[in-house]
Structure 1
Amino acid sequence: MQRRHFVQLALSAAAVRSLPAAEFLPHSVTFIGQAKFQQIVAQAQAQNWAALPMGARVAQFGQAMRGTKYVAWTLEIDDRIESPSANFNGLDCWTFFEIALGLARMVAKRQRTYSPSDLLRQIEWTRYRGGVCRGHYLDRIHYLDEWYTDNAARGSIRNVTRDVGPVVRLTGRANDEMSLNPRLYRYLRNNPALVPAMRQIEARLERVPFDFIPKSQVAACEPRIQSGDIIGIVTNRPHVFCSHVGLALRTGDGVCHLMHASLTQKKVIVDQSIHEYLNSVKSHAGIVVGRPREA
């Protein structure tokens, strides 16, 4: 990237982050579980989590949400209007890691009190293409492979997959799960005219090179994974590249665990090691690794 373009991108990113959240729906819809939010933030302030390195801070917020029940489709909150949102009473795999990351970025800006809008601005920055929500469903990043690419380009994370271990390239696979199954998605079901545009986004993503660490190599790579790293689970299933996501958590026993909102356990858990988790599901093919960066 040319230095001039990089500086312009950095200045633009800083300007966007300083704006209030682009909220298009009321907090009664977009922010569920405010008491839990305030409880976690109070604990973070009392224990000075803001002083922790970024990865450790993300992992600490992830642990604060252990036991939260698993709830699917928590991003689908309206029939037509898209808006940044957070639900502390129910998490799926995406909203779990996203809220932990958002809280870690939020408290880095030290202030006496934090509001739902403070977190929603951080959610907007990572959830939406270019960090901006304009109230449209297709502003949102819907596929995890694009999330890594978009957020790495804007400096929210570093894609350290190649640094962690040997990679292989995913080839010969469509990335069109949403346009093939629009009735599963509330916004697409209520707005079928969006489906062709969604397919255009998918077609663009299919042309972006996508490298991952195969699961046979993950055990040897785990010593290079850090707490708070965002672990995308690559799948062998057709029509999609990634099927799940969680956070790495290194514990005192030296094991690098996967912390995630588990569909099978119906709650946020600290699971077995990352490689053991991968080996427990036949369709899991490997991982990609994103390392959070300071806001």
Structure 2
Amino acid sequence: MRSLNIALSIKERNYFNTTTVSIFHKAYQNKGFKALTLNLLFCGISWAGIAQESDQRIFEATIQKKYNSEQGQRVIEIAQTFLGKPYVAHTLEGKKENLVVNLREFDCSTFVESVLAIAMCKNNSFDDFTHNLETLRYRYGHVNGFGSRLHYFTDWLKENERKGLIKDQTQACAGKPYKKSVSFMTSHLPLYPQLEDYRALEAVKMAEIELMRKSFFYIPKAEVAKKESCIQNGDIIAITTSKSGLDISHQGFAIVVNGRVHLLHASQDLKEVIISQEPLAEYLAKHASQTGIMISRLVKK
């Protein structure tokens, strides 16, 4: 795949008391480039992003549709537009950490982030979407190396609660304390070549240490069926795991089908975005290592 580094016109905007840069590349859309790699330095802030032209076309087709004004329903309707999209892992990984936009294929976490970033759009622009995606995916809302990415779901949850974007609903649903020592990444260094960089390694180590100091709650899978009344369409469902050193093994969205909560997710088993055939409680029962769920919700703005 050929990429192009280009200097582009910019305009300054303020989001969350930080300066971001709007990138305009429509002039380049018809020049036959399969991908655009955008890098610039402006006012001391570096912005980098990678997207294919088809990602912008997919975004524009998605955002132009009419959705329910109720936020949870809007989230689930946007998520449903991606049904059948292929499951592909490791789409964010590269030699250098950039904001990767990929609406053509997903893993479970990029699917959740992408849908939320679209649902959060106020002016329905591609720049608005990419800003939201970066805000959700990275600590303090900006790419600053591999260590700035919110790799653990519980870290992602706490950080986006701090930003006022996501609300953890688990305790309010009578969840039980979830105590887990989080250390999977630093305990499996060969799986993460990016951690050969000392700064990235220290950032991830610090994140793991901080997570062990924070309180979390979960609903054991044996109790999920009777807690369905607490779960709304479009809620983020994070599945807890018995795997050593790991907090969450999978995530997706709650969707109510015939009065029961199912899971709309990028399925690693079936290799595409699907709605689970069975209710969420039965889905969990089929997976021995899945111990329960956390429930969170996009905050209405």
Matches within 5 A, 1:48-59: 48-49=66-67, 52-59=69-76
Cα gap change, 1:32 to 1:270, in 2 (>3 Å): farther
Residues 179, 196 of structure 1: 8 Å contact kept:
no
Q: Return the structure number with greater relative CO, CA threshold 8 A, min gap 6.
A: 1
Aligned to 2:16: 14
Asked if the contact 1:230/1:291 (under 8 Å) is kept, the reply is yes
Q: Equivalent residues in 2 for 1:34-183 (5 A)?
A: 34-35=53-54, 37-45=56-64, 47-49=65-67, 52-76=69-93, 78-79=94-95, 81-106=96-121, 109-111=122-124, 114-115=125-126, 117-133=127-143, 135-164=144-173, 166-171=174-179, 173-183=180-190
Cα distance change of structure 1 residues 90 and 39 upon mapping to structure 2, 3 Å threshold: closer
1:184 aligns with 2:191: yes
1:85–1:123 contact (8 Å) kept in structure 2: no
Equivalent of 1:209 in 209, 215, 239: 215
Give 2:37's match in structure 1, choosing from 18, 26, 35. 26
Q: Describe how 1:240-279 pairs up with structure 2 within 5 A.
A: 240-251=246-257, 253-271=258-276, 272-279=278-285
Give the whole-Å Cα distance in 1 for the aligned partners of 2:149 and 2:155: 10
- What amino acid does structure 2 have at the position aligned with 1:26? T
Q: Please tell me whether Structure 1 or Structure 2 has the larger radius of gyration of its CA atoms.
A: 2
Q: What per-residue deviation string (whole Å, max 9, x for no partner) do you get for residues 43-75 of structure 1?
A: 442x322x5222111111111111111111122
Please give the TM-score of this superposition, normalised by the length of structure 1.
0.82
Using a 3 Å threshold, how does the CA distance of structure 1 residues 159 and 13 change in structure 2: closer, same or farther?
farther
Alignment correspondent of 1:3: none
Q: Give me the whole-angstrom Cα distance separating, in 2, the residues matched to 1:290 and 1:82.
A: 27
Distance 1:27 1:92, change over 3 A: farther
Q: Percent identity?
A: 30
The residue type paired with residue 59 of structure 1 is: I
More moved, 29-38 vs 233-242: 29-38
- Asked whether the equivalents of residues 21 and 120 of structure 1 are also in contact (C-alpha less than 8 Å), the reply is no
Judged with a 3 Å threshold, the aligned counterparts in structure 2 of structure 1 residues 263 and 101 are, in CA distance, closer, same or farther, namely same
Question: How many angstroms does 1:32 deviate by?
Answer: 4.3
Letter in 2 for 1:290: S
- Checking the alignment, whether the CA contact within 8 Å between 1:152 and 1:158 is kept in structure 2 is yes
Kept in 2: contact 1:232–1:245 (CA 8 A): yes
Instruction: Give 3-state SS (helix, strand or coil) of 1:26's partner.
Output: strand
What's the C-alpha RMSD, in Å, of the aligned pairs?
A: 2.4
Task: State the one-letter code of the partner of 2:115.
Answer: A
State the distance in 2 between where 1:42 and 1:241 align: 35
| CA offset digits 1:132-174 (Å, max 9, x no partner) | 22x311111110011111111221011111222x222223x42
Q: Is the 8 A contact 1:33 1:88 kept in 2?
A: no
C-alpha distance in 1 between matches for 2:267 and 2:284: 13
Structure-2 change in CA distance of 1:273 and 1:214 (3 Å): same
For 1:19, give the aligned amino acid: T
Deviation at 1:118, TM superposition (A): 2.7
Corresponding residue SS for 1:66: coil
Which has more strand, going by share of residues? 2
How far apart, CA to CA, are the structure 1 residues paired with 2:192 and 2:75? 29
Matched residue of 1:145: which SS?
Answer: helix
Normalised by the length of structure 2, the TM-score is 0.81
